């Protein structure tokens, strides 16, 4: 079980090289082709970003030569930007960096938020200022019985199958006299060869889901969060509302998320 087609969004930001290093290491591990998509806007070719933006293709191909990964390089249309132009529908996994003010106006609008909402493909989003380190050895699934959480778990399966430790975090799980939802998740993942531990946060108190997640001992050693939107009636949300929005704004770990 592996990803065979990975796509990385490239730009002239200071985060681009770390993102690229991570993407190449992931592509190597899965034997995947890596597509680099230059999503710099016209403003990126002025000022402090200019040199990095102009050398993106050269930097990307040099990294490919060192790694032995099969690659292709694309340039998004800077004058007709939209989700159709970002090649995201033709990959198994996308890699981007958390939205940030530094990139505003310099990266094409729609990356990464609109792409994530419309591509139908899971995305690993790296934090601002992230330094390359192992990802996917200890994984926490932010679980709820929702369509979004189910999709993202299946989208993360190649990583879950290789992880050393996987924990499912369930916030205020509903009581069920016959079956507990997270136990059903455990059985389902075991059928795929993935063993998980379960962390139930049953006493919500005054904590929000994001506060409870960050307070969980499971997150102390984690290197990746797999996040779906919570669908419990108290926390019903769109993907970029509530817990998931908070997670994408505040996180310090890579997050694998999908819509």
Give the chain's end-to-end CA distance (angstroms, integer). 22
171 has pLDDT over 70: yes
Q: What is residue 83's predicted lDDT score, i.e. its pLDDT?
A: 65
Sign of CA dihedral 46, 76, 241, 13: negative
The predicted model scores a pTM of 0.90
- Reading the block at residue 57, the tokens are 């293709």
Weakest mean pLDDT among 49-53, 160-164, 185-189, 213-217? 213-217
Q: Which of 110, 174, 177, 116 is nearest to 143 (CA)?
A: 174
Mean pLDDT of 121-131: 93
Query: What percentage of the chain reaches a pLDDT higher than 90?
Result: 60
β-pairing, 138-143 with 165-171?
parallel
Q: How far is the C-alpha of 144 from the C-alpha of 172, rounded, in Å? A: 9
Name 154's Cβ contacts closer than 8 Å, sequence gap at least 6: none
Q: What is residue 130's predicted lDDT score, i.e. its pLDDT?
A: 93
Weakest mean pLDDT among 68-72, 87-91, 180-184? 180-184
Half-sphere exposure of 82 (CA within 13 A, CB side): 3
Q: What is residue 34's predicted lDDT score, i.e. its pLDDT?
A: 98
Mean pLDDT of 99-105: 86
Let me know: does 10 contact 39? Beta carbons within 8 Å: yes
222 has pLDDT over 90: yes
Mean pLDDT of 133-151: 91
27-59 per-position pLDDT tens digit: 999 999 999 999 999 999 999 999 999 999 999
Top-ranked range on mean pLDDT: pick from 103-117, 171-185, 233-247: 103-117
Top-ranked range on mean pLDDT: pick from 18-32, 222-236, 245-259: 18-32
């Amino acid at each position: 079980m592996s990803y065979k087609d990975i796509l990385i969004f490239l730009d002239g930001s200071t985060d681009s090289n770390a993102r690229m290093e991570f993407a190449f290491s992931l592509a190597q591990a899965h034997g995947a082709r890596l597509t680099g998509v230059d999503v710099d806007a016209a403003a990126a070719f002025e000022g402090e970003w200019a040199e990095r933006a102009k050398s993106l293709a050269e930097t990307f191909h040099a990294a490919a030569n060192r790694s032995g990964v099969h690659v292709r390089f694309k340039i998004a249309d800077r004058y007709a930007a939209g989700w159709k132009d970002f090649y995201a529908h033709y990959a198994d996994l996308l890699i981007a960096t958390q939205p940030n003010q530094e990139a505003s106006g310099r990266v094409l609008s729609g990356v990464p938020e609109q792409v994530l909402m419309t591509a139908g493909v899971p995305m690993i989003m790296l934090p601002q200022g992230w330094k390359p380190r192992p990802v996917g050895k200890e994984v926490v699934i932010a679980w709820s019985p929702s369509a979004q959480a189910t999709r993202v778990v299946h989208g993360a399966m190649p990583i879950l199958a290789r992880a050393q430790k996987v924990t499912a975090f369930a916030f205020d799980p509903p009581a069920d006299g016959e079956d507990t939802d997270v136990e059903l998740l455990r059985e389902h993942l075991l059928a795929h060869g993935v063993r998980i531990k379960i962390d139930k946060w049953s006493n919500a108190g005054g904590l929000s889901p994001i506060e409870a997640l960050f307070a969980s001992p499971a997150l102390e050693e984690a290197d990746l969060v797999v996040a779906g939107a919570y669908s419990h009636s108290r926390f019903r949300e769109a993907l970029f509302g509530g817990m998931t929005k908070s997670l994408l704004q505040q996180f310090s770990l890579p997050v694998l998320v999908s819509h």
